Amino acid sequence: MNTNNNVYTVIYTTLIVVVVAALLAFVSQSLKGKQEANEKADTISQMLTAAQFGTKAEFQKMGNAAVLAKYAEEIGQAFTINLDGQKVQDLDLEKVFSPKELKRQNYNIKGGANKTGEPEIPVFIFKDGKTVVPIYGAGLWGPVWGYIAFEKDLKTVAGAYFDHESETAGLGAKIKDDPSFQAEFVGETPDFTSANVFEIVKGGAPKDAEGKSLVDNKIDAITGATMTSGGLDAAIDTWLGAYAKYFQGAAPKQHCGNCKHEGEGHDACEGEECDHEHQAEEE
């Protein structure tokens, strides 16, 4: 058989490409569900890690089902807001924002040619009062993203978790792998009034004689990973900037848990004690 014939060559290559494409499409379709489940569990475990319910390694050991169960147990409410801090719509508690959706919203926040609509960014509130919000941006080699958890007062950071697609192992990858970097965010109070909500800089915050930070929104950058640190800094500034109005007062009042009043929250919870009548208890 003459395999160098032109017609034969064209038919042969066409055939082999069609067969391979069909096979790959079939495999991709049949595995899609499992892959999405893995990605979802991964995203959820990142949020739970940020909210200090455990470490990422612990969640990894637990397996997907246990992570989802833990999330269902802890999550209180989830909704999206616009840049004015106003609630747009409730989110299905079963759903999470995948890195892909974060990327889309990142374009929407920043504007420009890739904008697909008005920004609609998610807020996740856990039953213990912690509020978790995502951040997303560009690192050195690929996207970086993560979750920052705030305490009930919406001022103090309770925890943070960052992930990346392809930062350098041992350097930029430390934003994910180095717990001490993430731990630096705990207890800090970001400055929502400035464009630099957080600053990730060499040396971190200036310290007084006892080693106590004098400024509350400066984080020590990672040695040898200037670009990744800078990218993460920009991502945090962009996203927390977008949430600024929400955190500065537009947030719905949290339910205090001290009374039996149903609903998301009410003015009475502002004080330390409920001032409305506890009818339910008295009756």
Instruction: With contacts defined by CB under 8 A, name the span among 39-47, 90-98, 113-121, 239-247 that binds another protein.
Output: 39-47
CB of 154 to another protein, least distance (A): 32
Distance, CA of 56 to CA of 125 (rounded, Å): 19
Instruction: With contacts defined by CB under 8 A, name the span among 36-44, 79-87, 209-217, 241-249 that binds another protein.
Output: 36-44
Backbone angles phi, psi at 72, to 5 degrees: -60, -35
13 contacts another protein (rule: CB under 8 A) = yes
Instruction: With contacts defined by CB under 8 A, name the span among 86-94, 162-170, 201-209, 251-259 that binds another protein.
Output: 162-170
4 contacts another protein (rule: CB under 8 A) = yes
114 contacts another protein (rule: CB under 8 A) = no
Tokens of 130: 């912690």
CB of 26 to another protein, least distance (A): 11
Contact 70, 111 (CB under 8 A): no
Distance, CA of 227 to CA of 221 (rounded, Å): 10
Q: Out of 14, 58, 60, 215, point to the residue binding another protein (CB under 8 A).
A: 60
Cα angle for residues 167, 218, 201 (degrees, 5° grid): 50
CB of 43 to another protein, least distance (A): 12
Distance, CA of 214 to CA of 207 (rounded, Å): 5
CB of 162 to another protein, least distance (A): 14
23 contacts another protein (rule: CB under 8 A) = yes
**Total residues found in the chain within this entry:** 283
Residue 246 CB coordination number (10 Å): 24
Question: How many helices and strands, by DSSP H and E, does the chain display?
Answer: 8, 8
Q: Out of 100, 111, 113, 169, point to the residue binding another protein (CB under 8 A).
A: 169
Position of tokens 């595995």?
31
Q: Which is nearer to another protein, 12 or 270 (CB)?
A: 12
CA distances to 137, 160, 201, 269 from 47, rounded to whole Å, are: 17, 8, 25, 26
Distance, CA of 45 to CA of 221 (rounded, Å): 25
- What is the total count of residues that contact another protein (CB under 8 A)? 30
35 contacts another protein (rule: CB under 8 A) = yes
Position of tokens 């001032």?
275
26 contacts another protein (rule: CB under 8 A) = no
28 contacts another protein (rule: CB under 8 A) = yes
Q: Out of 95, 170, 271, 276, point to the residue binding another protein (CB under 8 A).
A: 170
CA distances to 15, 177, 187, 206, 269 from 209, rounded to whole Å, are: 74, 30, 20, 10, 40
Q: Which is nearer to another protein, 12 or 277 (CB)?
A: 12
9 contacts another protein (rule: CB under 8 A) = yes
93 contacts another protein (rule: CB under 8 A) = no
Instruction: With contacts defined by CB under 8 A, name the span among 73-81, 169-177, 241-249, 252-260 that binds another protein.
Output: 169-177
Angle in degrees, 0-180, between the axes of helices 99-110 and 226-245, rounded to the nearest 10: 70
Give the footprint of another protein on this chain (CB under 8 A). 1, 3-5, 8-9, 12-13, 16-17, 20, 23-24, 27-28, 31, 34-35, 38-39, 41-42, 60, 63-64, 165-166, 169-171
